Structure 1
Amino acid sequence: MNKKVLIFLTSILIVCNSVIVTHVANATPEESIEKGTIQIKQLDNQIIDLNGEISSLNSEISQLNIKLLENKSEINKTEDKIKSTEIKIIESKKVIEKKQDILGKRLRVMYKSNLSSNPLLVILSSENFSDAISNTQAVVKIISIDKKLINDIENEKKALDLDINNLKDKKDELKTLQTSTQDSLNEIKTKKEAQQITLDKLSAEKKKVSSIIEENENSLISHSVSIIKSSASSESAIKDAISTLKSLFPQLNTSSVKNKAQDAINDGRGILKYIQETKNKHANTNKATTTSIGNTDRGSSPAKKSYTMEATAYFDGLLTASGLKPIRNASGLSTVAVDPSVIPLGSKLYIEGYGYAIAADTGSAIKNLKIDLYMNSKSECTTFGRRNVIVSLIAYPNEW
């Protein structure tokens, strides 16, 4: 593929990704997490495909480099053979020149004596008949030898010329093959360069999306973390913050955010331990009871509002409307779907017979005084069925 076409397609892909990132950045935190997670999966798939293609191209480049080295070696061998043959030709020319000199001298002698052109003169110049026969046979033999010598010289010349021509043809073929292989190598390197540019851009886009998700996940835990870090927070507020972080933890994707949440949970537990030890020291004068988050009932947090709602159950959710993974944690914070016009998304609820929950999801059938409770299995949903429950709004999104 032409390098300009590859770079053009790369630019189109990057522009499209940039549009997606901009859209994610302008969305709400919940939408950003959901869309960002989907986009990262898409980018990961593209990066995996590109890495596979680049690996294949590297293999092709390696094979072509080997082929180039082999061709170069053959060219060198052929050039050596040409040089060797040229030396043989020089040596053969010297031999031929000697043979030609001998032949020339012999012919000059024969033609001067007219022996080759006048057989009768050979007979008449003989002393006797036997001598005439011998002289005639000698002349015939000399002429035969000369013809063979001339043929041998011509054949040697032709053989050497043929060797030179064949070697030159082979050298030209090898050079043509070398040029073709080099062109193929350059084309593959160009393709790899364009794909590497695309890979770098995709990695950069993934980093941007990851930073947006990290920012939104930080916003989800920031309030609870600030409560734990604040020296003015009450014991119950710290317990609620720990409970919230523990409930959100399975839904977090970013390692740094997970570490921050875990550190806050550990700090909160340390604070609670210190408070408990202080209470134990003053148990005789100021006895207090503490309740774990899993055993906290609705009475420990006064409800802002209470509703009687028709409840159903669902399971196997991918991502909620808030961009989080739905969970069911009977001793912590579960996920429920509500009508945002009745209960704002992000509100903390207490549901009779279900426990504490976060309003994090919506549904097309969940309107007005209806609520959908997330369960861990289809059988739990079937067992729960449809029933009326009392839903207490414990805290609005910005209050916990």
Structure 2
Amino acid sequence: MNKKVLIGLTSILIACNSIIMTTVTNATPEENIEKSTIQIKELDKQIVDLKDELSNLNGEISQLDTKLKENKEEINKTEDNIKSTELQITKRKKIIEEKQEVLGKRLGSMYKGNLYSNPLLVVLKSDSFSDAISNIQAAVKIISLDKKLINDIDKEKEALIVNIDELNNKKDELKTLESSTQNSLEEIKSKKKSQQDALSKLSDEKKKASSIIEENENSLISHSVSVINSSTSSESAIKEAISTLKSLLPQINTSSVKNKAQNAINKGTSTLQSLKESNSNKGNSNTGNIDRGSSPAKKTYTMEATAYFDGLLTASGLKPIRNPAGLSTVAVDPSVIPLGSKLYIDGYGYAIAADTGSLIKNLRIDLYMNSREECYNFGRRNVTVSLIAYPNEW
């Protein structure tokens, strides 16, 4: 395993150990939630990096698999050529043996006194001078052909040996290449397995951290859900609960909590329809959100306000949003305003105290905006903050 992968896995394991250590402290629920959101952000970055690394490894594995396939095809082709050459060798050996046999017989007959073994004997045996010349020429030609035959036999032997040696060398090279490629493939697969194990561990840790976020989100919607589920709730209370859930819905991360909130909204809407039909002669009740004046503030603060944007996750695990017609996100000092409280801010609207900040201390508040330009335009100013409801009261 290379150094880069080892360093990456080491940092991941350190991060996981850090996460485990932070969850075993005797922290308050608010501190646990905030720590969980920090852990999730860190884990998400680690997970993204791991997935990128796994994607690269999958690409390398694919390339090596293709290389192995091509190499295997080349080995098979070479082995077929070797078999074909071996067949040719067998056939040529037979031809060579036949030629050697013919040559052997001819040479044997010459040594036994055949007329072609002695040119003088050829002349004496001839019937005429012209016949003698013809016989001598024939004898010389036979001797020349025999020499050529011997040379051809030697060359064929040498060519076959060279051919088979070249093919065997090529096969050995291909086998070596195959072994090297296979080793590289196994090494990358081992890296991939290590990365997948690390990814699995990170995912498990994220689930643990997310369970704390899920618990907090369930707590945020519990009051409104209980109002809708209660058979004694008034029409206005149900409308308020529906409005609250609709405002919270875009900020919730956990799918199971989203489903629970949506089911409660559906149930509340159905209940309102039934109440409307049974009380058709009573006219419509007050609709929508609570007006600040209709529900007295538990506390009122004059705070120095700044603005921020571009966040993915708040300290309470919710998604930050800016919704002037609904519920926006603000960052507070939890020692002044508990996280999960419902606020009304003059000039900004309703908000949930869902986030914190290192500079947000005492009577400071940070209002979430949809762009940097909105933050610049807002600047820094004093605002009146009314605490409408504490956590689990709305």
Q: Give the TM-score range, shorter chain.
A: 0.7 to 0.9
Shift of 1:353: 3.5
Provide the C-alpha distance between the structure 1 equivalents of 2:230 and 2:191, rounded to a whole number of angstroms. Answer: 50
Report if aligned partners of 1:34, 1:323 keep a CA contact under 8 Å in 2.
Answer: no
Shift of 1:210: 4.9
Answering whether residue 190 of structure 2 is matched by residue 186 of structure 1, we say no
User: Residue 311 in 1 paired to residue 304 in 2?
Assistant: yes
CA shift at 1:359, angstroms? 1.6
Deviations 1:255-275 (A, max 9, x none): 333323222222233233334
Partner residue, 1:94: 98
Please list the CA deviations of residues 131-175 of structure 1 after superposition, one character each: whole Å capped at 9, or x if unmatched: 5x965x578546634532441232122122112211221221222
Matched, 1:177 2:173: yes
For the residues of structure 2 that align with 1:278 and 1:127, how far apart are their CA atoms?
A: 145
SS in 1 for 2:112: helix
Per-residue deviation, 1:363: 3.4
> Following TM superposition, by how much is the alpha carbon of 1:197 offset from its aligned partner in structure 2, in angstroms?
1.3
Name which of 37, 47, 64 aligns with 2:51.
Answer: 47
Give the whole-Å Cα distance in 2 for the aligned partners of 1:55 and 1:261: 42
Q: Deviations over 1:22-55 (max 9, x none)?
A: 3575572243234314422431342133123313
Matches for 1:1-400 after TM superposition, within 5 Å? 12=10, 15-16=13-14, 18-19=16-17, 21-22=19-20, 28-109=32-113, 115=118, 135=132, 137=133, 141=137, 144-145=140-141, 147-205=143-201, 207-212=203-208, 214-223=210-219, 224-225=221-222, 226-227=225-226, 228-231=228-231, 233=233, 235=235, 237-281=237-281, 283=282, 289-293=285-289, 296-307=290-301, 309-318=302-311, 319-378=313-372, 380-381=374-375, 384-400=378-394
Q: Which amino acid aligns with 1:313?
A: T
Question: What displacement does 1:110 show?
Answer: 5.0
Distance in structure 2 (CA, Å) of the matches to 1:76 and 1:166: 17
- CA–CA distance in structure 2, aligned partners of residues 255 and 72 of structure 1: 54
State which drifts further: 194-203 or 375-384: 375-384
* Partner AA of 1:194 in structure 2: S
Structure 1 residues 371 and 18, CA gap change in structure 2 (3 angstroms): closer
Distance (whole Å) between structure 2 residues aligned to residue 250 and residue 64 of structure 1: 50
Q: 1:214 to 1:277 in 2, by over 3 A?
A: farther
Superposed displacement of residue 348, structure 1: 1.6
TM, length-normalised to structure 2: 0.81
Give the superposition deviation at 1:376: 3.4
Q: Is the 8 A contact 1:29 1:216 kept in 2?
A: yes
Moved more, 94-103 or 248-257: 248-257
Aligned-partner SS, 2:113: helix
> Following TM superposition, by how much is the alpha carbon of 1:314 offset from its aligned partner in structure 2, in angstroms?
0.8
The range that moved more, 63-72 or 200-209, is: 200-209
Contact persistence 2:308–2:366 (CA under 8 A): no
Query: Which moves more between the two structures, 261-270 or 33-42?
Result: 33-42
Partner of 1:373: helix, strand, or coil?
A: strand
Q: CA deviation at 1:107?
A: 2.5
Counterpart Cα distance in 2 of 1:89 and 1:229:
98
How well do the aligned residues superpose, as a CA RMSD in angstroms? 3.6
Contact 2:253–2:318 under 8 Å retained in 1? no
Alignment deviations for residues 316-375 of structure 1 (CA, whole Å, 9 cap, x no partner)? 241433343322222322222222222222222222343322122233443322333333
State the Cα deviation string for residues 269-295 of structure 1 (Å, max 9, x = none). Answer: 3233334444445x2xxx7842311xx
Identical residues among aligned pairs (%): 37
Residues 236 and 21 of structure 1: is their aligned pair in 2 closer, same or farther, counting only changes over 3 Å? Answer: farther
Q: Is the 8 A contact 1:6 1:191 kept in 2?
A: no
Secondary structure of the 1:303 match is coil
Amino acid at match of 2:168: D
Alignment check: 8 A CA contact 2:12 2:46 kept:
no
Structure (1 or 2) with the larger CA radius of gyration:
1
Separation of aligned partners in 2, 1:391 and 1:6 = 51
SS at match of 1:397: coil
1:30–1:184 CA distance, 2 compared to 1 (3 A): same
Cα deviation for residue 79 of structure 1 reads 2.0
Q: Indicate how the Cα distance of structure 1 residues 393 and 19 shifts in structure 2: closer, same or farther if over 3 A, else same.
A: same
Structure 1 alignment gaps of length 5 or more: none
Q: Cα offset for 1:244?
A: 3.5
- CA change 1:252–1:180 in 2 (3 A) is farther
